Amino acid sequence: MNAVTETVAAEPVSGVEIFVPLAKLKKSPRNARKVPHGETAIEALAASIQHKGLIQNLVVEPEVKDEKPTGYYLVTAGEGRRLAMLLRAKRKQIKKSEPVRCWLDTLNDPSEISLDENVTRTPMHPADQFERFAELSNEKGWGAQEIGARFGVSASVVKQRLRLGAVSPKLLQVYREDGLTLDQLMAFAITEDHARQEQVFEGLHHNREPWIIRRDMTATNVPATDRRAVFIGADAYVEAGGNIIRDLFSKDRGGFFEDAGLLDILAAEKLREIAGEVQAEGWKWTEAHIDYPHSHGMRRFYPQSVPLSDEDEARLDALSTEHDELAEGYSSYDEMPEDVAARLEAVSDEIDGISAKRSAYDANVIAHGGAFVVLHHDGTVRIERGFVRLEDEALADPPEPEAEGDATDPQIGEDEQPEDGEDAQEIEEEDEEPGKPISDSLTRDLSAHRTLALRVALADQPETALIALTHTLTAQLFYSYAEAACLEVRPTVTPLGSHADGIEDTPLAARASEQHEAWAQRMPRDVADLWGFIVGLDDERRMALLAHCAARTVNALRLPWDRKPRSLQTADRLASALALDVAKDWTPTVDSYLGRVTKAHIVEAVTEGVSKDAASRITDMKKPDMAQAAEQLLAGSGWLPAVLRTPVPEQPAPVEVEDMGSVEQPSEAEAPDTVAEDGEESFAVAAE
């Protein structure tokens, strides 16, 4: 018994170890496993056998036909290992004549043996597997590629197991005792700092969602989406000795920068380099700051208007005409053919280049003034030129203008810089015109703030969101091509940063971002599971999710090139329904409003927000002083410009739902379109 025998067609003696050529082994028809082994499992077995040999022998019985041995053996147990060795033979790693160690068994029922092998075994606990992988790496120095090759798994899988094996032994033991789920353990594995892992674990309460663990684990780190990280870049940060924490188990958007101090130093150094380049333009000084120094107290000068040459004027007219012709019929670049979009973009760039020639800083301002180089909210560089220190103001002052409204008037307010093609001369000439409306650029800015406030307010009132969403869908389904909604449900989320500088860094924007991130963290990883996730929400949470999604699409922007009076009217009604109070999050300051409107508008604001007497006291002041005084007077008054005000709610007319025939028919202007643009009749809803 138990003698080692080399055989080709040996006498069937049960209970001995024999070596059978691989080509002489066949799958047993009485193998209990009917579902075949997967390719991944066979790959792993082949890798294991290649590096460690056949750890476990096969169990075989002789193949018999007509009561005579055929010389072949049927594999009762070990079919996966047989397939793995055949794969190795296919890869020319071994020959088909390779002897395979087998255990000959003719006494037991082959079906029972096959079943027994697959049933009576206990798989290794994952924690034990993770730790053994870590030991192979630490004690033998094997990398992920080497370990993966020896176990037939990818290097990325090995890296994940190594990271899990590096989790605090205390937490691994809790995982063994079912005190943590695998998802929770993976959240702790975002870093290898055992002390931090244990600290966060001890601080957990009843809510142990993986996203909460990840949030707490990275609370002291800087996400890769931070403006400093975007500005510096991962490569420069790592080259400087910084470490980036990466989550191997989820999309971490670039990871987390561990050393916030180093990031600040690198950002400041790079900004100083750019400041040096700006100073080379001729400025007396430049300063680099990560955050804009709002309390600098300096006076600011702006470029003076410069007439274009006849050649530039002619070219600009031609480009403007071409721009309008190219853009006609399209609402965005996405709708255009690629060649049209490329040409339109090139034309726009050339128009901007020529338009930039319309203004230039006075030589005295450049010689005695300076610029701030700061980091924008999106990681780009923001350069603010034209600031003059108090001791240099007399030297920097351009020649006195001939008239009060001349473009060279140095008393232009700090944020009265011309925008959207307006030059300084045009603004000053219009300064004293009574009843002059505020500029398109300021209207766009203010409407961006109102849009953001609408989004946050709507997200807090799910019932109103449902009404707004229902209105939007109804308008699109029953009123052909009617732009009557302010919810862009396609869905489209319009970024506001390009319409109001700095709006994305406001507390209101942070609140909107926190709402979105909170929902995003709860969403299932696979979109196929989203339906079940939504169905599983209770009514309150489902309504809250609907409100959030609807709020993200609000667009109440007032843009000079996008006239949509009915949508803006709906935005007003929505604001009324929400009892929107923008004054809670917006105040009139020199930067946000007062420095960007005429003196007449400032007087009007103080009259409405404070009193006529207060307005009369500042009437004779120069523009910058008037704006500063008005800011102090209006502080805490709750005054808002007309663009930000919420209209008085309308009283809806009663409608008898039971008798649709008694409902008054809408006027021609309000009725749904009954004829499509191509002349064909569309469906109309008729009351029977």
What would the mean pLDDT of 146-159 be, rounded to a whole number?
Answer: 80
- Residue 462: the pLDDT is 83
What would the mean pLDDT of 337-347 be, rounded to a whole number?
Answer: 89
At 474, the pLDDT band (50, 70, 90 cuts) reads: low
Fold that domain 4-119 belongs to in CATH: 3.90.1530
Q: Which of 214-218, 355-359, 475-479, 667-671 has the lowest mean pLDDT?
A: 667-671
- Residue 372: the pLDDT is 94
Q: Does 477 score more than 50 pLDDT?
A: no
Q: Does 203 score more than 80 pLDDT?
A: yes
Start-to-end Cα distance in the chain: 94
What would the mean pLDDT of 624-632 be, rounded to a whole number?
Answer: 87
* Peptide bond just before 491 cis, omega within 30 deg: yes
At 472, the pLDDT band (50, 70, 90 cuts) reads: low
- Residue 231: the pLDDT is 94
* pLDDT, averaged across the chain: 79
Compute CA distances 460 → 355, 504, 543, whole Å: 44, 20, 11
At 8, the pLDDT band (50, 70, 90 cuts) reads: very low
- How many C-beta neighbours within 10 Å does residue 170 have? 13
Q: Which residue is it, tokens 């909460």?
A: 212
Q: Which residue is it, tokens 């100083």?
A: 272
Compute CA distances 366 → 286, 353, 564, 646, whole Å: 11, 21, 43, 44
Q: Which of 244-253, 290-299, 559-568 has the lowest mean pLDDT?
A: 244-253
What would the mean pLDDT of 599-615 be, rounded to a whole number?
Answer: 92
What is the distance between the alpha carbons of residues 444 and 557, in angstroms, rounded to a whole number?
6
- Residue 453: the pLDDT is 86
399-402-403 Cα angle (round to 5): 125
- Residue 655: the pLDDT is 54
**Stated pTM of the model:** 0.42
Highest mean pLDDT among 245-254, 476-485, 625-634: 625-634
Higher pLDDT residue, 184 or 359?
Answer: 184
CA dihedral 290, 292, 293, 296 (to 10 degrees): 140
At 267, the pLDDT band (50, 70, 90 cuts) reads: very high
- Residue 634: the pLDDT is 92
289: Cβ–Cβ under 8 A, 6 or more apart, which residues? Answer: 271, 372, 373, 374, 375
- Residue 667: the pLDDT is 42
Position 677, amino acid: E
What is the distance between the alpha carbons of residues 372 and 289, in angstroms, rounded to a whole number?
7
Half-sphere exposure of 54 (CA within 13 A, CB side): 21
Helix boundaries (H) for 280-356: 310-327, 338-355
Give the strand order in the sheet containing 299-300. 285-289, 370-375, 381-388, 299-300
**Residues 386/413, Cβ–Cβ less than 8 Å:** no
At 56, the pLDDT band (50, 70, 90 cuts) reads: confident
Beta bridge partners of 74: 26, 61
73: Cβ–Cβ under 8 A, 6 or more apart, which residues? Answer: 20, 24, 25, 26, 60, 61, 62, 63, 102, 104
Q: What are the structural domain ranges in the chain?
A: 4-119, 275-430
Higher pLDDT residue, 115 or 598?
Answer: 598
What is the distance between the alpha carbons of residues 367 and 351, in angstroms, rounded to a whole number?
29
**Residues 171/161, Cβ–Cβ less than 8 Å:** no
What is the distance between the alpha carbons of residues 300 and 416, in angstroms, rounded to a whole number?
10
- Residue 685: the pLDDT is 32
- Residue 521: the pLDDT is 63
3-state secondary structure of 245: strand
- Residue 330: the pLDDT is 82
Give pLDDT tens digits for 402-425.
Answer: 444 444 444 444 444 444 444 544
What is the distance between the alpha carbons of residues 550 and 340, in angstroms, rounded to a whole number?
33
- Residue 535: the pLDDT is 66
Highest mean pLDDT among 412-421, 518-527, 619-628, 649-658: 619-628
Report the DSSP pairing between strands 58-65 and 99-104.
parallel
What would the mean pLDDT of 498-503 be, rounded to a whole number?
Answer: 77
Higher pLDDT residue, 602 or 659?
Answer: 602
SS3 for 16-56 is EEEEEEHHHEEECCCCCCCCCCCHHHHHHHHHHHHHHCCCC
**Residues 609/637, Cβ–Cβ less than 8 Å:** yes
Q: Does 253 score more than 80 pLDDT?
A: no
Q: Does 185 score more than 70 pLDDT?
A: yes
Give pLDDT tens digits for 650-682.
Answer: 666 665 545 444 444 444 344 444 333 333 333
Q: Which residue is it, tokens 């809806």?
A: 652
What would the mean pLDDT of 516-529 be, rounded to a whole number?
Answer: 65
* The token pair that represents 394 in the structure block: 């007399």
**Residues 363/306, Cβ–Cβ less than 8 Å:** no
